[in-house]
Amino acid sequence: MNLSQVLLSALKAHGAREVFGIPGDFALPFFREIESSGILPLYTLSHEPGVGFAADASARIRSTLSVAAVTYGAGALNMVNPVAGAYAEKSPVVVISGAPGKGESSAGLLLHHQAKTLDSQFAIYQEITCDQARLTDARTAPAEIARVLASCLRESRPVYIELPRDMVAEPCEPVVALGEPVVDDAALDACADEILARLAAAERPVLMAGVEVRRFDLEAQVAALARQLGIPVVTSILGRGLLAGHDAPLAGTYLGVAGAESVTAMVEDSDALLMLGVLVSDTNFGVSARQIDLRKAIVACDSEVTLGYHTYTHLPLGRVVRRLLERAPSARQVPTLPPPSYPHGMVADDAPIVPGDIARGINDLMARHGVMPIAADMGDCMFTAMDIAHQALVAPGYYATMGFGVPAGLGLQAATGERPLILVGDGAFQMTGWELGNCSRFGWDPIVLVFNNRSWEMLRTFQPESSFNDLSHWDFAGMAKGLGGDGLRVETRAELAAALEHAVATRGRFQLIDVSIPRGELSPTLKRFVEGVKRLSAPGAR
Ligand SMILES: Cc1ncc(Cc2c([C@H](C)O)sc(CCOP(=O)(O)OP(=O)(O)O)c2C)c(N)n1
Ligand SMILES: [Mg+2]
């Protein structure tokens, strides 16, 4: 085999099911190998941010690694933001960048696509990936690939592989995958016993499931642990939708002052908050009604477990959860909690549409026609998604970048074969919505809801005096046909209900519903979030 075939075979063996990419002259030989080998299908998109977001969504929905292949310089540096978002939100994307060959790097010329030095790109990616390799020697390449792919899966973070174009066809030995990391069994026992003792001594223990529970595919085990411990479970905003399909005493999603009061009180009153795979971030805890005393919490994330003032290291979450299951006593009873409630029954009348109507309309649609995986962009569409019952949601809930929604929806359909629902604001659609033009090539047919409030509305809620948040009324529906899909602008709830039904019934072409929303109308969750942030940031509030 040659180095490209070895790399592609190793990617597939480690869980990759496709390559998203855009070639360039430094990557053309590798793309030729991707296409000729047929080891993984190749989906090319139009702009590298879209490549990164699509690969990120594929990794999230399949809970394993995915691949984003780009050219050197202009391509790879165009993708820095999506990879940074994948790093922040623990999504295991493998970035493969073409690069100048050995001879041209030493020719003494400044090369096209070169920014500062030929090491600059590698240095930039060191900041947003957990491991890196430059495949400049076919003899060491298999071990380098094994190391980097093992890091990607172990840490559930992006990694970076630089592949000089004169190396792609070099003969190369296959990759031998590294085994599971060795874990100190005694430390694992001590940690599990300390956690169990802390929970047993508590009067109001609560389990919070976060993003790592999904990334490491631990939902069933965490649901079993909650039942065995007999304690209620909540999810963080990034863990939204976790455990929904499992038998777990699930109370809902913790959103601080922006969420259900019963869930907020349960978390903030807890005297033993067991946080499994939760990022301790401002979006998760920045709007806490009362500051959570983390010294009373148990935080298991990033292969560490912190209790009070001490930390156990090198204990992967999956091993901690399994050891807790082995050593936890069976609870006498499991709390019976009312399932989280979600709004249904949108009135299909001539009233204008507000974000809350969209959540109702989608919940009604899914109750009638079955659930769809959902990709949401940053903006009020993401806060609206908090009121949508279905659980398979990918969204930039912590890193909060715009542009994620449409490409992520395409990544979902490529990865799962299921038709996705995409929620995106007009501002975010202006960034990456054009990737819809690639649907017809690959047979993708998402349903896209554009929250068209002619505004950067989230920003206006924080700074209403600025008129630069006003956007003009782009006719996204009118542009759909030119992109190969169908578009419809809707102004009333009756039109929205009819458009959703028509979209579900129409397959084979993307269906874009351009939803006109009066400027200033917010989802209930965003409204509470903004009020909470303003209240909590007022002088003397905490
Ligand atoms: C790539 C990128 N650029 C800028 C921002 C800042 C930003 C927001 C966050 C706070 O950083 S929310 C927002 C406006 C979003 O407008 P739209 O998509 O129309 O959604 P909505 O009207 O529902 O707000 C911007 C510009 C961002 N998050 N990501
Ligand atoms: Mg908007």
Average pLDDT over residues 426-436: 98
Instruction: Looking at the structure, tell me whether residues 141 and 62 fall in a common domain.
Output: yes
Two tokens, residue 328: 């936890």
The DSSP letter of residue 470 is: B
Terminal Cα distance for the chain, rounded = 62
Q: Which residue has the tokens 């303003």?
A: 534
Say whether pLDDT at 157 is over 80.
yes
Instruction: Looking at the structure, tell me whether residues 82 and 216 fall in a common domain.
Output: no
How does residue 92 score in pLDDT terms, banded at 50, 70 and 90? very high
Tell me the CA–centroid distance for residue 380 and ligand 1, in Å. Answer: 9
The amino acid sitting at 34 is I
Report the b/e string of 440-471 with b at 16+ CB within 10 A. Answer: eeeebbbbbbbbbbbbbbbebbeeeeeeebeb
How far are the Cα atoms of 12, 19, 420 from residue 368, in angstroms, in the given order?
Answer: 37, 34, 16
pLDDT tens by residue, 95-149? 999 999 988 978 888 889 899 999 999 999 999 999 999 999 999 999 999 999 9
Which atom of ligand 1 lies closest to the CA of 402? 29
d(Cα 125, Cα 131) in Å, to the nearest integer? 9
Instruction: Looking at the structure, tell me whether residues 400 and 311 fall in a common domain.
Output: no
pTM of the model: 0.96
Per-residue model confidence (pLDDT) at position 532: 85
Instruction: Looking at the structure, tell me whether residues 376 and 494 fall in a common domain.
Output: yes
- Across the beta sheet with 93-99, the strand order is 42-44, 19-22, 66-70, 93-99, 159-164, 132-134
Beta bridge partners of 156: none
Per-residue model confidence (pLDDT) at position 537: 79
Instruction: Looking at the structure, tell me whether residues 480 and 427 fall in a common domain.
Output: yes
Bridge-based pairing of strands 374-376 and 421-425 is parallel
Tell me the CA–centroid distance for residue 27 and ligand 1, in Å. Answer: 32
Binding-site residues for Mg(2+): 426, 453
Q: Is 457 in the pocket of ligand 1 (CB under 6 A)?
A: yes
Instruction: Looking at the structure, tell me whether residues 319 and 373 fall in a common domain.
Output: no
Q: Is 530 in the pocket of ligand 1 (CB under 6 A)?
A: no
pLDDT tens by residue, 408-419? 999 999 999 999
pLDDT tens by residue, 168-220? 999 999 999 999 889 999 999 999 999 999 999 999 999 999 999 999 999 99
C-alpha closest to that of 199 among 292, 339, 336, 327: 327
Instruction: Looking at the structure, tell me whether residues 157 and 40 fall in a common domain.
Output: yes
| Site to substitute for ligand 1 among 80, 450, 456, most atoms within 8 A of C-beta | 456
Report if residue 449 sits inside a domain: yes
d(Cα 512, Cα 489) in Å, to the nearest integer? 8
Report if residue 169 sits inside a domain: no
d(Cα 532, Cα 426) in Å, to the nearest integer? 25
Per-residue model confidence (pLDDT) at position 542: 58
Q: What is the residue range of 484's domain? A: 355-529
Binding-site residues: 426, 453
CATH of the domain at 83: 3.40.50.970
How far are the Cα atoms of 46, 352, 381, 445, 511 from residue 496, in angstroms, in the given order?
Answer: 30, 10, 15, 19, 13
Instruction: Looking at the structure, tell me whether residues 229 and 136 fall in a common domain.
Output: no
Tell me the CA–centroid distance for residue 519 and ligand 2, in Å. Answer: 8
- DSSP state string for 357-417: HHHHHHHHHHHHH----EEE-SSHHHHHHTT-----EE--TTT--TT-HHHHHHHHHHHH-
Instruction: Looking at the structure, tell me whether residues 238 and 382 fall in a common domain.
Output: no
